[in-house]
Amino acid sequence: MSQDPLDLYRRMLLIRECEAQLNDLFAKNLFPGYIHSYLGQEACAVGVCDALEDTDYVVSNHRGRGHYLAKGMDLKAMMAEMLGKSTGVCGGRGGEMHAADPAIGVLGGNGIVGGGMPIAAGAALSAQMDGKGAVAVAFFGEGASNNGSFGETMNVAAAWKLPLILVCENNLYAEMTPYEATVGQPDVALRAAGYGMPGEVVDGNDVVAVRDAAGRAVARARAGEGPTLLELKTYRWGGHFEGDPRKYRTREEEAEWKARCPVAQFRKVLLAERGIAGDRLVALETEVAGEVADAITFALDSPLPVPETALSKVFAA
């Protein structure tokens, strides 16, 4: 928990640079499998995780790198995991959608849409029973909010006053389906009232607004007052996955959202309102780009897991 504006900027840059470089690796055929890019959503992960402690829990979805990095996952170990290498945070077994690091409360990504919410509720229940004031966050998309697990999690979390923050990143599309084609009202957050918890719509491209809303939800959860639903309105710049031709939306719409870039917007705030010098930001940007380049070299140079270890991390074989 920092609320340090330069730290918020740094972590958004880190995510931005990782996503850009991984897309580049994918284009060069050096990336195994799919990439679900987090470009454009950086303020969501960073704003929420800034309100958390190391002892709090985060459950992610299939678009998870931003969440991992914002919660403090080691950059090299994360990058190596993305490339399926033995030096990855899960020894290369998790790959793009399933990295986890319980030591920092990252309980994992999830390829099952909506699958993370009940897991986060379980973590919140364990935190409640433990009585040390930890909270759990579930990150999910608006598509997942139409899954039954959303209603089930909301209901039990409200009934048991679980220290849970449900963070819906509404990036307007679930795969190729626009949000408005699947729901009867404009905001996911409106559903919170039906379950008996507060729901808040937040500008998901404004890292300070996200941080403030998350801070309120975390304070409420730590005080034993129960769960909160936050709906962060944002946009994924890329397709559902890299290579998606994006026929379901216009290039004009994409340009409008890119003009509201969360990283560039906050850079302007730092310069104009927080009195941070431009050369300090340039130095930070260069430093972050260097760190990401080093992490990619580390990941590319790392060995793949050897087949003999394939069963070494399973519960039963």
Interface residues with ligand TPP (CB under 6 A) are: 62-63, 111-114, 140-144, 171, 173-175, 240
Compute the distance between CA of residue 149 and CA of residue 152 in angstroms, rounded to an integer: 5
CB of 44 to ligand TPP, least distance (A): 10
CB of 169 to ligand TPP, least distance (A): 6
Cα 23 to chain centroid distance, Å, stands at 17
Where in the chain does DSSP place strands (E)? 57-59, 136-141, 164-170, 173-174, 177-178, 199-203, 228-233
CB of 191 to ligand TPP, least distance (A): 15
CB of 170 to ligand TPP, least distance (A): 7
Question: In this complex, which beta carbon is closest to ligand TPP, that of residue 34 or of residue 160?
Answer: 34
Question: In this complex, which beta carbon is closest to ligand TPP, that of residue 47 or of residue 141?
Answer: 141
**Burial class of residue 51 in the structure, from the number of CB atoms within 10 Å of its CB (0-12 exposed, 13-18 middle, 19+ buried):** buried
Question: In this complex, which beta carbon is closest to ligand TPP, that of residue 147 or of residue 302?
Answer: 147
Instruction: Scan for tokens 């945070």, then name that residue.
Output: 89
Amino acid at 193: A
Compute the distance between CA of residue 236 and CA of residue 218 in angstroms, rounded to an integer: 25
Compute the distance between CA of residue 130 and CA of residue 133 in angstroms, rounded to an integer: 8
Question: In this complex, which beta carbon is closest to ligand TPP, that of residue 170 or of residue 302?
Answer: 170
Where on the phi/psi map is residue 105: left (φ > 0), alpha (ψ -120 to 50), or beta?
left
Question: In this complex, which beta carbon is closest to ligand TPP, that of residue 47 or of residue 143?
Answer: 143
Residue number of the CB closest to ligand TPP reads 141
CB of 210 to ligand TPP, least distance (A): 16
